[in-house]
Amino acid sequence: MTDRALAVVRAGALTTVQDRGRPGHAHLGVPRSGALDAPAAALVNRLVGNPPGAAVLETTLDGCAVRPRCAVTVAVGGAPCPVTVDGRPVPWGAPVRVPGGALLDVGSARAGVRAYLAVSGGVAVEPVLGSRSTDLLSGLGPPPLTDGTVLPLGPVSGLPARVDVVPQPAPPRELVLRVTPGPRDDWFAVAAVRTLTAGSYRVSSASNRIGLRTEGPALERAVSGELPSEGMVLGAVQVPPDGRPVVFLADHPTTGGYPVIAVVHPPDLPAAAQATPGTPVRFLTSRHHP
């Protein structure tokens, strides 16, 4: 029987297994998790013939290297990066056949932050609460990859896509986030919402899968007390004591005590996965979702 598995040769700075996540468990204190750039993960799955919910590898900045133990079809998307098989360049953003035993190297991002590697059959680690995603906050799912990790692969269920080129959005030069004010905008000075939308913010290097942190003008509070801990949603713009907004991403906590001045529209969040430190951030206010 063919050994359907993937051996990790170089784990990279932070490489995790991700799928669509585990939404619906916030009442248990379990974050939703899942691929930060969900459209990129879905696209590479489609390229190799996987269903959209198959688990992929999400790399951070410097990629990873793996050695499949059987012949597989792979695709790399998300952050543009060099891809090689046994040292020979192969296409990024397209299905590639990799022989068993060959070394597939996903290089450092030339732009953006996170690359996605799909393998035919998907990464078949044991699901937890219906998802194979690594959750950095709760520790659910498989741990971040380390050198020598062996990942099982599922059975191949579809044919690779027959394409010449696929459109993929470039990493943002400016991260534009549409927001709906509230629910706690009344905890801030009247000028704070204007500061949020007119302020000159940039992505902080302290950002991670839990939240995109910003550098820029502090948002002044009108109410100095503390909130009882309340539920947090994906895209919540929470304001900690330093006044700099934090946008909650896939591994965000399910509750929090700092006030939320606004919530980012979900379609704008995948770009946050690819915004490098220093990228300008612009918040656009809207009372209604599009």
User: Could you tell me how many helices (H) and strands (E) the chain has, helices first?
Assistant: 2, 20
User: How large a percentage of the chain has pLDDT more than 70?
Assistant: 98
Average pLDDT over residues 251-265: 96
Q: Where are the domains of the chain?
A: 5-152, 175-285
Q: Give the model confidence (pLDDT) of 71-115 as tens digits.
A: 999 999 999 999 999 999 999 999 999 999 999 999 999 999 999
Mean residue pLDDT across the chain = 94
Residue with tokens 């909650």: 248
Q: Give the model confidence (pLDDT) of 155-170 as tens digits.
A: 998 999 887 777 888 8
Q: Give the model confidence (pLDDT) of 119-164 as tens digits.
A: 999 999 999 999 999 999 999 999 999 999 999 999 998 999 887 7
Q: What CA–CA distance (Å, rounded) separates 202 from 216?
A: 7
Give the pLDDT score at 1: 42
DSSP assignments along 178-236, one per residue: EEEE-SSGGGB-HHHHHHHHHS-EEE-TT--SSEEEEESPPPPBS--S-PPPEE--TTE
- Its pTM stands at 0.94
248 vs 25, higher pLDDT: 248
DSSP assignments along 242-283, one per residue: T---EEE-TT--SEESS-EEEEE-GGGSGGGGG--TT-EEEE
Give the pLDDT score at 163: 78
Domain 175-285 has CATH 2.40.10.10: no
End-to-end CA distance of the chain: 51
3-state secondary structure of 4: coil
Strand-pairing partners, residue 256, are 230
